[in-house]
Structure 1
Amino acid sequence: MDFDEFLREQLGPLTRFAGVLTADAHLAQDLTQDALVRAHARWGRIGRMDRPDLYVRRMITNGFLSWRRLLSVRSTRTVPDIGEFSRATTPDPATRLADRDQVSALLATLPRRQRAVVVLRFYEGLTDTEIAAILGCAAGTVRSHLSRALAELRTQVHPVEVTEP
């Protein structure tokens, strides 16, 4: 597969993956563009791989996890209270968007590696072994990150109320 064909097939999915990972469309485009520029320079080797898309996803993930981008990713987003709007009797098409914003806000609270594991598992549908290959760690580490991330997300979605004795 040549690079132009790869771009036609994978540019959209790679950009969406980066968008879910970063919760920032501009940063997602930057990460994807940087990874594709580096991949193009090495396409002779990358293009011969069984799954060059996984390799480029690894490049995007590494760019996201890179310390050089730490400051640009550390922005907080507020999610508007949709309580009043959710009481409507007919389904509101904006509900899907509100849910997406809420998920993005929840993902933004996770440490970057945990966020990467959650996105790779649930958005990309990858296995522990594939995620471990992308992150360059053991499959057990992937399971550990996922377990901690899900535990943290559960506490944020359903906070435990502490009553004083």
Structure 2
Amino acid sequence: MKPLILLAPFASLALAACGGPQTPGAKAAHERHENFEQIGKSFKALGEELKKDAPDVAKVKESATTINNYASQVKTWFPAGSGPQDGVKTHALEAVWKDPDGFGLAAAKLTDAATALNSAAQSGDLAAVRGAVPPLGAACKGCHEKFRAKDD
């Protein structure tokens, strides 16, 4: 029985090394990444649907709803301890935490653009949806330019 007791701590360490994020900051950064992935997938699906001759309005509504739901939460995804200055692997730049007012404004622009897109989508007016896509893209780009590291 003693050999098993001696191996338990090593097994725990091995399992921990294989697992996902271990610190609260790393966990927050991982969840943030996953959430942004959902926004990106929904934005891509929306764009693909709008390229069709006869877009499926239900799919447009679904994508817009997802984007809107996530966009309204973005500002909460950057808790203290989840940035590169904390040793966390993330695309977020320190500017998120050093310029919280600027980041808040960028997040508000995203929320406003996502709300407008969702309103247009829920109305079923595809012309209005198409008109709401560029401001959403601009809000994403504006935030990426100042608060996100370039992809390698």
Band of TM-score, shorter chain: 0.3 to 0.5
TM-score by length of 2: 0.32
Higher helix share: 2
Structure-1-length-normalised TM-score: 0.31
Larger Cα-atom Rg: 2
